Structure 1
């Protein structure tokens, strides 16, 4: 098996691997989404050709994990009562995997992990993707999180030339969307030290990867040259008054 592809379901990782040109799904991810506690028992009830194993990275090295075929996936869905009960997580999972994941896999007429890995993630999913990245880092270590980060396409959202090791741009983008009001007005001015202090508090509160003061300052200035507020197109810009800061931006209270 090869070609690991990552999807996100309600802030949790959902992994797909390739076997003989067909998609196979990590059993633990499927069972967790369906609320199945006894994974071994659920897999054991599948036919032999509907279950398998693959090797995946963990902090202790490569480890074999259970997988299920597409047929096995549908068997688990059909055996879950909640999967047909609107309002439940298994029901949302069933609708998501059949309406989004499988069509995405078949987008090119065949299972193509490489194409999936390089599909950029829309900016509205940044929060979810970062939560997944944090979960991967805590579970499987920095190397696995870095691999997900690079393959997710997050960097391509706003800075295609950014370094894969630099998460400052995305942390800053989330901060601007959540904590700043971009007005584009010359009359609105926020000091650099206030913006940076708020940014560091935002990063710490969400357990995002830490960045240094100089890196953050440079990223903020670079972002001001390209950022446009969605919907209004308003921008902010670096300006020096009695103190260095930015026009066109206010911190939300």
Structure 2
């Protein structure tokens, strides 16, 4: 697991990610659950064993050094699509209407805003 944390922002809520040796993203479960309005204690019942694990990283240790739960990209999609809570609806829409279509069209996701110039967007892409 790469110990470098990449932070995303969804409407002011942090979403921390790590990358495994194969280059696949893993998401800090607490961040995902906070966005979706769910609790991490139910994750083992919802996700398959290959979609959830603990990471031992001093950079993101929580609760007095306890290794946090992380979930895989498929695990993230499963949680997003499964949740029926009102808090999750906007996150679902963001993932399905903005993030996934942009990845399919361009091979990646670069968050932009109306005020970003073409040069700003290209600088982030590089």
TM-score (norm 2): 0.66
Gaps of 5+ in 2: 117-122
Is 2:7–2:14's contact at 8 Å kept on the other side of the alignment?
Answer: yes
1:71 aligns with 2:74: yes
Q: Distance in 1 between matches of 2:63 and 2:49?
A: 29
Paired residues, number? 114
- Aligned twin of 2:36: 34
Q: 1:58 to 1:122 in 2, by over 3 A?
A: farther
Cα distance, 1:57–1:64 mapped onto 2, change above 3 Å = same
Q: CA deviation at 1:59?
A: 8.4
Shift of 1:57: 3.2
- Would you say the 8 A contact 2:61–2:68 is kept in 1? no
What TM-score do the two structures reach when normalised by structure 1? 0.36
* Structure 2 counterpart SS, 1:81: coil
> For the structure 1 residues 107 and 15, does the alpha-carbon distance in structure 2 shift closer, same or farther, using more than 3 Å as the test?
farther
1:13 aligns with: 14
CA contact (8 A) 1:17 1:25 kept: yes
* Structure 1 unpaired stretches of 5+: 83-87, 111-115, 126-155, 157-253
Q: CA deviation at 1:98?
A: 3.5
d(CA) in 2 for partners of 1:78 and 1:72? 10
Partner of 1:98: 96
Q: Distance in 2 between matches of 1:77 and 1:33?
A: 10
